[in-house]
Amino acid sequence: MLAPQLKIKMTKNRFIISGGGTGGHIYPALSIANEIKKSFDNPKIKFIGARGKMEMNIVPKYGYKIHGLLISGLQRSLSLKNILLPFKLIISFIQSIIIILSFRPNFVVGTGGFASFPIVFISSIFRIPTLIQEQNSFPGISNRFLSKYTNYISVAYDKMEKYFPSKKIYKTGNPIRESIRSNKNLVNQRKKLNIKDSMTVIAVLGGSLGSDRINKTIKKNIEFLISKNIFIIWQCGKSYYEDYKIYNSDKIFVTDFFDDIDSIYSTSDIIIARSGALTLSELAIVSKPSILIPSPNVAEDHQLKNAKSIEEKDACICIEEKDLELIFKNKLDLLLNDMNLRDDLSYNMSKIAMPNASYDIVDLIKKHLTND
């Protein structure tokens, strides 16, 4: 099925980048934007997000303007929001048309999240070249639909031709923040948090929104954890902070969110985290031994598929939520006591790293615009 196509006059070096909902969509978008600024003369970049979502606060902090569409995702449970979704989608299509006609971009990039769908689809109708960036090993419905209309599909995993047209696929990896790639301007968290040199530092990362199940697992094992010579840096999420801040001590630092996640990665010896695609790409760059706990509350169970693809390469320990009570303590204890295992996991994770994703994606854009 082909979308109807119209043609508008595009303006040189104008780019729309759309992605949001979680940090896993926002930070790749920012990385691509920063690379565009390096690669083009005086580019104009407009971000598109969803009203009320976290990208509306995060993106302006990095010096970019963002426009919010009236769009939301499909709720898994019965909800009035699902009844309103078709109307919001129609409004978002109209908003996207207005943005395209007024801004006249000559390239559009979508990094996922429901805000990407309307702007990328409308851009294809206006014959504006587009690229979608799929972070996961199992793509969501939006990107599978958009793959019929986009020019390029940037992926991070092998065998994605099962879901996308093979001639459009480019394996670039996932764009990550420059500060993580470069290891520059790191805050010495050991000194800042008064962590003794002899202590093993464990970072507990529940994702940008926090994880109730990971928080409860750490709470349940708190006596075991503080009995060890370890320090825990615990990112519990904004909505959970009031419940867990009482655990702050000389061996535990609890916070809602990290702006300088690169410093946390650098400080940590072991990382406990969800298995969102961006997290995995960042962990590959920093090459730290990790316990991955996939969220079961995501589309098509993509976090479990992500984690299993890494575990198959002997690069992480994967624990499903249903197994946490049975094996979490034993797996963590094993990792704390077996330095050879930690070294092996780190080495195997480093082999997965693709640090030049942003550059490779923007290089695709440059070649297209040069040949157009």
Closest residue by Cα to residue 133 from 164, 167, 90? 164
- Judged by DSSP in three states, 235 sits in strand
| Tens of pLDDT, residues 312-356 | 999 999 999 999 999 999 999 999 999 999 999 999 999 999 999
With beta carbons less than 8 A apart as the criterion, state whether 235 and 255 touch: yes
Percent of the chain with pLDDT over 90: 70
Domain 14-175+355-371: give its CATH code: 3.40.50.2000
Domain 180-350: give its CATH code: 3.40.50.2000
Q: What pTM did the predictor assign?
A: 0.84
Question: Phi and psi at residue 290, in whole multiples of 5°?
Answer: -140, 145
Question: Max Cα separation, the chain?
Answer: 66
Q: Which residues, other chains included, contact 355 with Cβ-Cβ below 8 Å and sequence gap of 6+?
A: 173, 176, 181, 285
Q: Which residues, other chains included, contact 58 with Cβ-Cβ below 8 Å and sequence gap of 6+?
A: 23, 26, 30
Distance CA 33, CA 100 (A): 18
Distance CA 369, CA 372 (A): 5
Q: What is the DSSP string of 269-334?
A: SEEEE---HHHHHHHHHHT--EEE---SSSGGGHHHHHHHHHHTTT--EE--GGGHHHHHHHHHHH
Q: How much is the pLDDT for 78? A: 54
- Judged by DSSP in three states, 46 sits in strand
The radius of gyration of the chain from alpha carbons, rounded to an integer in Å, stands at 21
With beta carbons less than 8 A apart as the criterion, state whether 49 and 59 touch: yes
Q: How much is the pLDDT for 183? A: 65
With beta carbons less than 8 A apart as the criterion, state whether 69 and 51 touch: yes
Q: How much is the pLDDT for 259? A: 76
Distance CA 301, CA 361 (A): 26
Provide the residue type at 121 as one letter. F
Residue 272, strand partner residues: 204, 291
Sequence ranges of the domains in the chain:
14-175+355-371, 180-350
* Band (80; pLDDT cuts 50, 70, 90): low
| Tens of pLDDT, residues 229-267 | 999 999 999 899 999 999 999 999 999 988 788 889 989
Instruction: Give the Å distances, CA to CA, from 176 to 135, 244, 262, 284.
Output: 11, 29, 11, 11
44 versus 87: which is more confidently predicted? 44
* Band (215; pLDDT cuts 50, 70, 90): very high
Q: Which residues, other chains included, contact 346 with Cβ-Cβ below 8 Å and sequence gap of 6+?
A: 287, 288, 289
Distance CA 226, CA 215 (A): 15
CA atoms within 13 A on the CB side of 200: 21
Q: How much is the pLDDT for 277? A: 87
14-175+355-371 with 180-350: one CATH topology?
A: yes
Distance CA 361, CA 81 (A): 35
Q: Looking at residue 74, what DSSP letter applies?
A: P
